[in-house]
Amino acid sequence: MQAIAEQKSIYLQDYEARSAQLDEPKWLARLHRHGIERFEAQGFPGRTVEAWRKTDLTPVLREHFVPSGGPGQVDSGLIEKAGALGKAHRLVFVDGWLDPGLSELGNLPRGLTLAPLSEYGERLPAVIQDALGAFIDTASHPFAALNTAFFRDAIVVHAARGATIEQPVVLVHLLTPGADRRAVYPRAVIIAEEASQLRLVEQFIGADEPFVLNCPVAEIVARQGANVDYYKVQEEGAGSAHLGAVHAEALRDATIHMHSFACGARLARTDIYANLIGAGADVTLNGLYLTNERQYCDHHTWVNHKAEHGTSRQLFKGVLQGRSETVFDGLVKVFEGAQKIDARQENRNLLLGKLALAHSNPRLEIHADDVKCSHGSTVGQLDDEALFYLNTRGIGFDDAQGLLTFAFADEMLKPIRLDALYEYERQALFQRLPGAEMVREMS
Amino acid sequence: MALLEIRNLRAKIQGVEILKGIDLAIERGETHAIMGPNGSGKSTLAKVLAGDPSYEVVDGEVLYQGRNLLDLAPEDRAREGVFLGFQYPVEIPGVSNTYFLKAALNAIRKYRGEKELDAMEFLQLIKERAKSVKLDEALLRRPVNEGFSGGEKKRNEIFQLAVLEPYLAILDETDSGLDIDALHSVAEGVNSLRNEERGFLVITHYQRLLNYIIPDKVHVLLNGRIVKSGGKELAEELEESGYALFEDAAA
Ligand SMILES: Nc1ncnc2c1ncn2[C@@H]1O[C@H](COP(=O)(O)OP(=O)(O)O)[C@@H](O)[C@H]1O
Ligand SMILES: [Mg+2]
């Protein structure tokens, strides 16, 4: 307990030192203050907090992560990755600092606002101010609280009523060795107005060496009839910790498709909250995690059906190698009166490493009687019979493993509706497959 | 040199001896049939020859083109030209039949130092072979065996045989569960592939397939041993008298 109390005060001290220097609008200062208060009220979660029981935060608690003080040197490999998704409206942040040179903000189409908060000064539109920090649950998520206390410059993404944004918006968060033992707090607020359409990728990449604490938060609102695709690609360096949260709010007849691709960081966790608050809302949460060595990768989801005629689909798949450990923990909650909803939740894990460990905990909590809900989970190895069958056709052991693993994972890539991202994730998948060369040639 | 020579082969699964000393020789160009009741060890023999790691060979040897077959990994046996048509073909979700066969064919060609086929050549080949065994072309795009009917699965095995062109084809009950039309086209497929070079080991429970694929030799397998070998007339004999006739010999 002693240690935890001490941790709290360090982050509070950082906050106080920082807020003394900042000259920011009152409402924003209030939001930051709210964040640190929420953090102070809970501290870092111990193993007794149910939602954090399996997440071993020891390496994070041992360090004191001061907020990143400026951008570090970016190597060419990372720059290439930052541009890998091709034509896009792109904002690139280096160690939490906007890099205008790497960003591409030319030719923003009518109906799309994409800008850092700092550009607005005092004249922030109410719709953005009202949404920022309005949804994410800082009371029960200490890292979202820390983000709220410390985020520097939130990213504002706004699609106007009826606008169809053709090109994807890509937010790149890049971590360099300069951010070693620093904390980065990326923050995005994404608003799709009535009947608008928006596709967005948040890409987290980084060098392998630094131990960065990265705590991103994204809040997404899809208003009536809006259609939002949100892709999160977490491919950070092998030494980092990524503790993020995404909150999605779907209003009447809105559709939100989320896809989480996670293969980076030493310790990674993404908590996804989806509220279906308007009738007929439709939310999809997909995930693919690929882990190796001693990586830990965790997805927690909370899908709240608060209105009738909602649909939610969740499918998370994991491919585990080495001694890696993964968690999928999902709760689908159907509130009273949320009749005629259709909710599915599934988690499937493929263990390639004998010492790998996959935890799976899909849960349902139903307070309405006329609903269709299903959930399930599997943890298994490659089918020996299928491997042998492939072998008898001349396909070697590694290639057979690669082929079957690719087929398992590809189901999660197929629904990606951005060709460049599909190709990007496929390449990331190939890099981690046994016998990848053959699989790559073949597909 | 025989194409395949099995000498005193004994094999176990989960500690239980199933094959209790098999001797069998197949020359190039020959078709042999193995008949026997359920549980006699027919599939065990087929799987051991193909290299299924769940079986343990405890004694004996198998020479294939003069080489020790049992020393080879299953994929290398395939690359050397051994093919097993499975009694129960395996479903491979997410991998299309076309993709799977291309991987197989190119792995085999690469091993043999032959040029890999390009996409056009390959497509042409599989279309032609699919036609020759009357496999519905739509099945080429579907995941391997997934949702195939029993007959389609068996036909798919013969189709793979036609594409991969092995030197030794072991067909494990490719006839069971087939209607007469399917039986015809499977037999036609096999017959069209018979030639001077290629040997077939056709495993069957019933004599009827052997009306269409006329074997050079027939062996009766009972309780892990070959209890009788003879010409094609042996199959007819079996059809009339059943396996009971041989049970004394097996005991
Ligand atoms: N995995 C296994 N474990 C134990 N016994 C097995 C296994 N597979 C097959 N057997 C036994 O081996 C014997 C031969 O089986 P099999 O070769 O499939 O016969 P056939 O193909 O002639 O019907 C049977 O008695 C069967 O029960
Ligand atoms: Mg059998």
Q: Does the beta-carbon distance from B104 to A393 stay under 8 Å? A: yes
Q: Which of A319, A378, A389, A439 to mutate to test the interface with B (most CBs of B within 10 A)?
A: A389
Per-residue model confidence as pLDDT tens digits over A403-443: 999 999 999 999 999 999 999 999 999 998 877 677 776 55
pLDDT tens digit sequence for A140-176? 999 999 999 999 999 999 999 999 999 999 999 999 9
Q: Who among B94, B111, B160 is closest to A393 (CB)? A: B160
pLDDT for A1 beyond 50: no
CB of A408 within 8 Å of a chain B CB? The answer is yes
Which residue in the set A383, A385, A397 is minimally distant from B75, CB to CB? A397
Give contacts of B103 with chain A, Cβ < 8 Å.
390, 393, 395, 399, 403, 438, 442
pLDDT band at A8 (very low <50, low <70, confident <90, very high): low
Show which residues on chain B lie within 8 Å of chain A, measured between beta carbons: 50-54, 73-75, 77-79, 83-84, 86, 89-95, 99-108, 111, 143, 160, 164
Q: Which residues of B touch A395 (CB under 8 A)?
A: 75, 103-104, 107
**Residue A392 to residue B84, Cβ atoms within 8 A:** yes
Radius of gyration of chain A (CA): 21
Q: Shortest CB distance from B107 goes to which of A396, A404, A443? A: A396
Ligand nearest to the CA of B45: 1
- Closest approach of chain B CAs to the CA of A429, in angstroms? 15
Nearest to B95 among A391, A407, A438 (CB): A407
B contact test, residue of A393, A405, A406, A412 with most B CBs within 10 A:
A393
What was the pLDDT predicted at B241? 81
Residue A394: closest C-alpha in chain B: B75
CA distance A391 to chain B (A): 4
Contact A336, A300 (CB under 8 A): no
pLDDT for A441 equals 67
Per-residue pLDDT reduced to its tens digit, A277-305: 999 999 999 999 999 999 999 999 999 99
Chain B residue whose CA is closest to A439: B103
Q: SS3 for chain A, per residue?
A: CHHHHHHHHHHHHHHHHHHHHCCCCHHHHHHHHHHHHHHHHHCCCCCCCHHHCCCCCHHHHHCCCEECCCCCCCCHHHHHHHCCCCCCEEEEEECCEECCCCCECCCCCCCEEEEEHHHCCCCCCHHHHHHCCCCCCCCCCHHHHHHHHHCCCCEEEEECCCCECCCCEEEEEEECHHHCCEEECCEEEEEECCCCEEEEEEEEEECCCCCCEECCEEEEEECCCCEEEEEEEEECCCCCEEEEEEEEEECCCCEEEEEEEECCCCEEEEEEEEEECCCCCEEEEEEEEEECCCCEEEEEEEEEECCCCCEEEEEEEEEECCCCEEEEEEEEEECCCCCCCEEEEEEEEEECCCCCEEEEEEEEEECCCCCEEEEEEEEECCCHHHHHHHHCCCCCHHHHHHHHHHHHHHHHHCCCCCHHHHHHHHHHHHHCCCCHHHHHHHC
A26 shares contact with chain B (CB less than 8 Å): no
Question: What's the farthest any 2 CA atoms get from each other in chain B?
Answer: 57
pLDDT tens digits along A10-23: 999 999 999 988 88
pLDDT tens, B72-114? 999 999 999 999 999 999 999 999 999 999 999 999 999 999 9
Using DSSP's 3-state secondary structure scheme, residue B44 falls into: helix
Question: Measured in angstroms, how far is the CA atom of residue B75 from the centroid of ligand 2?
Answer: 22
pLDDT grade, residue A2 (50/70/90)?
very low
In angstroms, the separation between the Cα of residue B103 and the nearest Cα of chain A is 7
CA B52–ligand 1 middle distance (angstroms): 13
Atom in ligand 1 nearest the alpha carbon of residue B173:
21
- Centre of ligand 1 from the C-alpha of residue B44, in Å: 7
Judge whether A390 is closer than 8 Å to chain B, CB to CB.
yes
Inter-chain contact B90–A386, Cβ cutoff 8 Å?
yes
A306-337 pLDDT, tens digit per residue, is: 999 999 999 999 999 999 999 999 999 999 99
Best residue in A288, A390, A438, A441 for a mutation probing chain B (most B CBs within 10 Å): A390
**Alpha carbon of A388: minimum distance to chain B alpha carbons (Å):** 7
Residues B58-76 have pLDDT tens digits of: 999 999 999 999 999 999 9
Closest CA to B3 of B89, B65, B82: B65
Q: Is A411 at the interface with chain B, CB within 8 A?
A: yes
The ipTM estimated for the assembled molecules is 0.96
